[in-house]
Chains A and B, each alone.
Chain A
Amino acid sequence: MLKNYFKIAIAVLRRRKFFTFISLFGISFTLTILLVLTAFIDKVVGDNYPDRKRDRSLYINRLEQKGKDMSMSGALSYYFLSHYAGSMKTPVKMTIFSGFGGTNTYVNNKKIAVDYKYTDANYWDILEYDFLEGKAFTKQQVDNAEKVAVISEDIKKAYFGDVASVVGKFIEADNVKYRVIGVVKDIPITSYMTYSQIYLPYTVSKTDYKDKGYGGGYSAILLANSSADVQKMHDEYEQLVKRIPITTKGISVMYSHANSYLASYVDTGREDQSGVVLVLTVLATFVFLFMLLPTLNLVNINITRIMERSSEIGVRKAFGASSKTLVYQFIVENIILTLLGGIIGIVLAFIAIQILNNANLIPNLVLSVNLMVLFIGLIICLVFGLISGVYPAWRMSKLNVVTALKAQ
């Protein structure tokens, strides 16, 4: 039976080549875009370099302060994190680090834009950067405000050129010279919480990290002893924030949460708007709208094709096919078509990803099509095939035999 459906599906596809082209183009193009998007999300969310301990980590990167007439939202101060979050009992370790900022440096009169961030020594224990040479700065170096730097592989190449080792050499940023003590593997900018090109001890920062205001430019990662303690750690922080005295005039309430990586990554900084819900809504709307057009197109083409096949439908019904059997046949045929489009889409996605990787649109972001992405592609195809096949199949099955036979 399936072999017969397959034969007829292929024959129908060959019959009207232009329709087939339009259908396959719609499916494969849609799938290509969705697969590239999936590969992107998979990379951004799924790649756990360098925070490989995500399962027992919580991230604090937002503080929202609200009053009757004012509201502030942003990263936190070093003081807030060290003084309050630092007093928590559940975490076995905590790191405080700044977001990345940009500056310029010059090599042989050539300007290079570099991103830098400030961290403490715990940063290098909690996060597992791959060191290509050298090592991280120690607590002592941080306490002594030593002008040392860990740099990324790409800035090593851009600043020093193709040299074997740069440990001990100096790199200048913002007119300050820092001694390179380590080189780490690159991180794409999409991992914005851990991304930087130059990592410096927070004690060399020019801004006052001792300021007792609550807002600032810092985030923190709390590390629990095991993933079982994560909830406890989360709850402890929630309780802690409620007890923190409000010192700013006009502010009546404060919100800050210790979140999982994903929730923290998409945090909007607004208590009344969940980042996860927002991102899912935006993504779902995008995917829906993006699939709507080719689906409608396919539905239309399918209806036209069905009407061309009314004689066949009449004959099949006359010789014993029930409406249900015909619906099944047509959906199977449509799934064959969408799977074909899917295969083309996957090939195109491979090519598109190669092109995107080579173009280096987002530095250090290397996309790949892995099994997860392929699996999602397959699911998209099947859903696509079902949705675009059901309505035409249903209409077809309602066709009266006599009318169907007369149509030829």
Chain B
Amino acid sequence: MIQLQNIEKVYRTSTVETLALSSISLDIAKGEFLSIMGPSGCGKSTLLNIMGLLDAPSKGQIKIGDQKTENLSDKQLANFRNQKLGFIFQSYHLINDLQVLDNVELPLLYRNSTAKERKALASEALAKVGLANRMKHFPNQLSGGQKQRVAIARAIVGRPEIILADEPTGNLDSAMGNEIMDILMQLNQNDGTTIVMVTHDENMAHKTHRLVRLFDGSQVQ
């Protein structure tokens, strides 16, 4: 589903050159639940961002499904992310000015869907994460776990084939973290969604199909 070949990422300033990722090659199968672990600053999030086409590698190739991604325009990239990918972030990144329902509808705004369709799909996604009764709330009226569930609903509302989660349980206590993990596992098992998750938590990582470890930008496991 996701093929990375010799990915390298270098951050350059006028004086320093930092190698964030070095020769990463990875093949993630359709329906796989993969976790990426490693110490802070080892390049986990950079790798996830590159997989999510949010950042471009300095070298190497990414293929998602049958699509080679290196020559896509801004508009094509945006469209591809919209159709194929869903993102979950550690700090949720909900838009505080919008109600839960509007937050979840967001990916659908960039498709040709009617307001009615958007509402139906967003309600369904919220029901899936157990927040059907919180649609009219604003994010700051929710707990951390609830916010992350809204973020998951937003990630799945467009029915993407791949979900990329950057430390989704990082800001949550273990009970809430487990809840979020259960939801992700259900999505993987029931809907066959491919999930790549960056985590610091060994327990969470061991619940996934495969674990990749990074150290100083290189893959060590």
Chain A residues with a Cβ under 8 A of chain B: 1, 3-4, 7-8, 11-12, 15, 311-312, 314-325, 400-402, 405, 408
Contacts and interface: CB of A to CB of B under 8 A. Distances in A.
Given A318-B54, A325-B110, A312 B78 contact: no
B81 A318 contact: yes
Interface in B55-81: 55, 74-75, 78-79, 81
A333 B2 CA distance: 38
Contacts of A319: 81-82, 87, 106-107, 110, 154, 158
A311 B74 contact: no
Nearest to B154: A319
B33 interface: no
Given A311-B93, A316-B106, A323 B79 contact: no
Nearest to A318: B87
Contacts of B98: 7-8, 11
A320 B89 contact: no
A404 to B, nearest CB: 10
B10 interface: no
12 contacts: A4-B102, A317-B54, A319-B107, A320-B81, A320-B107, A321-B78, A325-B110, A400-B55, A402-B54, A405-B54, A405-B89, A408-B91
Contacts of B109: 1, 4, 321
Smallest CB-CB A-B distances: 8 pairs: A320-B82, A11-B97, A320-B110, A322-B78, A319-B107, A401-B54, A322-B75, A315-B93
Q: How many B residues are at the interface, by size bracket?
A: 20 to 34
A394 to B, nearest CB: 13
A3 B118 CA distance: 13
Given A11-B97, A315-B93, A405-B89, 18 more contacts: A4-B105, A4-B109, A7-B102, A8-B95, A311-B93, A318-B54, A319-B82, A319-B106, A319-B154, A320-B81, A320-B111, A322-B75, A323-B74, A324-B74, A324-B75, A325-B78, A402-B54, A405-B93
Contacts of B54: 317-318, 401-402, 405
A391 to B, nearest CB: 19
B26 interface: no
A200 to B, nearest CB: 71
Contacts of B87: 315, 318-319
Interface of B: 49, 52, 54-55, 74-75, 78-79, 81-83, 87, 89, 91, 93, 95, 97-98, 102, 105-107, 109-111, 115, 154, 158
Contact of B78 (A11, A317, A400, A408): A317
A231 to B, nearest CB: 54
Contacts of A325: 78, 110
A358 B27 CA distance: 80
Interface centre among A11, A319, A321, A400, by most chain B C-beta atoms within 10 angstroms, is A319
Given A319-B106, A401-B54, A402-B54, A312 B95 contact: yes
Contacts of B78: 317, 320-323, 325
A305 to B, nearest CB: 12
A8 B97 contact: yes
A39 B72 CA distance: 53
Nearest to A4: B109
A198 to B, nearest CB: 66
B93 A3 contact: no
B129 to A, nearest CB: 17
